[in-house]
């Protein structure tokens, strides 16, 4: 598996380029589209899809540029479609740079599979940080967006977020995954499900309430 992490934009979001046999997907192209495209071109990758784990500005800022240059479809959960069309909901309004984005080409749903060569990733709908937050799980890894970080969890005090939904996402989805699964979050360093299960204080607090 080809896996490249790029830390992009003012909010230091993680953009991931994942590929097998030159077939690639771009996860959360938040900013610095030309840097992302440079990696794609240098590695002669064919981008089959662009996936937003959720539609906050720091994860979608380069959506339209990457789509234009690669002609790859944008995939997002249907519950986050309103965020693409609202500067308030995608948080760009609060950052002083109101931004609206083109509609997604395709919506994804729970348990849907995204295939790249021999690689298969399954969509897990994990609402809480946003209504349409998703994680991608497969090949021993989890791309967790802003649902789970190393020693932290996604915020649930933003427009459209929900404490109860986030708690349910952990109980019903993420904490049922094997300990050895490597987690690649939307910000910060990688971790594992087992480590977060044992040491993440926010997960413990989340489950107490």
DSSP 171-192: HHTGGGS-TT-EEEESBS--EE
Segment 57-114, tens digit of pLDDT: 999 999 999 999 999 999 999 999 999 999 999 999 988 788 999 999 999 999 999 9
What are the start-end ranges of the H helices in 32-136? Answer: 33-42, 57-60, 63-70, 81-84
Nearest to 177 by CA among 116, 108, 124, 129: 124
Nearest to 166 by CA among 179, 152, 180: 152
Average pLDDT over residues 47-53: 98
Q: Look at residue 127 in the predicted model and tell me its pLDDT.
A: 98
Domains of the chain are: 2-208 (3.60.15.10)
Segment 146-174, tens digit of pLDDT: 999 999 999 999 999 999 999 999 999 99
Does the pTM of the predicted model rise above 0.95? yes
Q: Look at residue 65 in the predicted model and tell me its pLDDT.
A: 97
Question: In angstroms, what CA-CA distances link 6 with 27, 33, 86, 90?
Answer: 10, 10, 26, 21
Cβ density class 173-198: b for 16+ within 10 Å, e for less: bbeebeeebebbbbbeeebbbeebee
Average pLDDT over residues 109-138: 97
Mean pLDDT (the chain) is 96
**Residue 193 and residue 164 in contact, taking contact as beta carbons nearer than 8 Å:** no
The partner residues of 171 in beta bridges, in order of sequence, read none
């Amino acid at each position: 598996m080809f896996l490249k992490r790029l830390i992009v934009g003012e909010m230091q979001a993680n953009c991931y380029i994942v590929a097998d046999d030159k077939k690639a997907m771009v996860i959360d192209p938040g900013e610095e589209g030309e840097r992302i495209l440079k990696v794609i071109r240098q590695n002669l990758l064919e981008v089959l899809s662009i996936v937003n784990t959720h539609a906050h500005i720091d994860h979608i800022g380069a959506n339209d540029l990457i789509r234009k240059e690669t002609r790859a479809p944008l995939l997002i959960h249907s519950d986050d479609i309103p965020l693409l069309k609202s500067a308030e909901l995608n948080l760009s309004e609060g950052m002083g740079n109101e931004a609206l984005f083109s509609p997604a080409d395709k919506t994804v749903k729970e348990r849907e599979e995204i295939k790249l060569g021999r690689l298969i990733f399954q969509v897990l709908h994990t609402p809480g940080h946003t209504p349409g937050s998703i994680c991608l799980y497969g090949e021993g890894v989890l791309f967790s967006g802003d649902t789970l970080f190393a020693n932290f969890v996604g915020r649930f005090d933003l427009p459209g977020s929900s404490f109860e939904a986030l708690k349910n996402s952990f109980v019903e989805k993420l904490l049922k995954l094997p300990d050895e699964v490597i987690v690649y979050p939307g910000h910060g360093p990688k971790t594992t499900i087992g480590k977060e299960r044992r040491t993440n204080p926010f997960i413990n607090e989340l489950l107490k309430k």
